[in-house]
């Protein structure tokens, strides 16, 4: 009887893990479908913005750390199946979902830099919530999301020419954000 409860408990935990992963994959897929709506054109944008897109190999460079962790996450359940006496179908479902997520990481992305926001991965980020990493990697731009700790890296991919233009626009946007924050701080101190 106790052994049956253990099997049910392990399968319940596996089902929960698969459902959480399915929700994450669906959430990411939803945001990636918004890329074309948010960034309909490439190149120079009105008011000094810039939009560009990456290619598959550039996304591999951008996502190499995530790809390695996905490989480990795909292998891990197989090692635990016999020890936990969990149904093999949960491991299969887990790997299928991670494969879909892996594919979503590798599809070409659209990016845009405007005076007020960065558009990346279907998301819109205000400049006050971002900063440039001090040491930049060679073939991508690395931004950090403030307050996210180790989950904060936000790499941007693209061709070297596009990244060069984008980085200059990012630096301008971040400088403007700092100037705006400093002006507001001095005004509030005067009042």
Residues contacting residue 171 through CB under 8 Å, at least 6 positions apart: 132
pTM for the predicted model, two decimal places: 0.76
Domain tally for the chain?
2
- 134 shares a domain with 99: no
- pLDDT at position 21: 92
CATH code of the domain in which 127 resides: 2.30.29
pLDDT digits (tens, 9 = 90+) for 4-27: 544 457 778 888 999 999 999 999
- 15 shares a domain with 94: yes
- 85 shares a domain with 50: no
- 156 shares a domain with 99: no
Side-chain-side CA neighbours of 123 within 13 Å: the count stands at 12
- 100 shares a domain with 138: no
- Asked whether residue 55 carries a pLDDT value surpassing 80, the answer given is yes
181: nearest Cα among 110, 128, 118, 141: 128
- Asked whether residue 2 carries a pLDDT value surpassing 50, the answer given is no
Q: DSSP secondary-structure letter at 153? A: E
Dist CA 182 CA 191 (whole Å)? 14
- 149 shares a domain with 118: yes
- 141 shares a domain with 100: no
- pLDDT at position 6: 44
pLDDT digits (tens, 9 = 90+) for 128-186: 999 898 888 888 899 999 988 877 888 898 999 999 999 999 998 888 776 555 555 45
- 49 shares a domain with 4: no
- 116 shares a domain with 70: no
- 136 shares a domain with 79: no
The structure tokens listed for 129 are 């919530």
pLDDT digits (tens, 9 = 90+) for 77-132: 888 777 777 788 988 999 999 999 988 888 888 999 998 999 998 889 999 999 89
Exposed e or buried b per residue across 51-84, where buried means at least 16 C-beta atoms within 10 angstroms of its C-beta: bbbbeeebbeebbeeeeeebeeebeebeeeeeeb
- Determine whether 29 is exposed, middle or buried from the number of CB atoms within 10 Å of its CB (0-12, 13-18, 19+): middle
Which residues constitute the domain of residue 66? Answer: 1-33+57-107
Dist CA 126 CA 117 (whole Å)? 5
- 137 shares a domain with 63: no
């Amino acid at each position: 009887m106790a052994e049956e409860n253990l099997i049910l408990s392990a399968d319940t935990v596996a089902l929960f893990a698969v459902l959480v992963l399915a929700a994450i994959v669906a959430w990411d897929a939803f945001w990636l479908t918004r890329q074309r709506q948010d960034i309909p054109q490439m190149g120079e944008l009105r008011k000094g913005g810039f939009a560009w897109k990456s290619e598959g190999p550039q996304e591999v460079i951008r996502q190499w750390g995530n790809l390695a962790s996905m490989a480990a996450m795909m292998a891990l359940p197989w090692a635990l199946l016999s020890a936990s006496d969990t149904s093999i179908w949960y491991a299969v479902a887990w790997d299928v979902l991670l494969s879909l997520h892996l594919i979503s990481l590798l599809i070409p992305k659209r990016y845009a830099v405007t005076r007020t926001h960065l558009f990346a991965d279907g998301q819109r980020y205000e400049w006050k919530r971002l900063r440039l990493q001090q040491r930049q990697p060679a073939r991508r731009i690395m931004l950090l999301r403030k307050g996210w700790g180790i989950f904060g890296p936000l790499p941007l991919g693209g061709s070297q020419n596009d990244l060069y233009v984008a980085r200059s626009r990012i630096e301008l946007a971040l400088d403007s954000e700092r100037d705006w924050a400093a002006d507001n701080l001095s005004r509030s101190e005067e009042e």
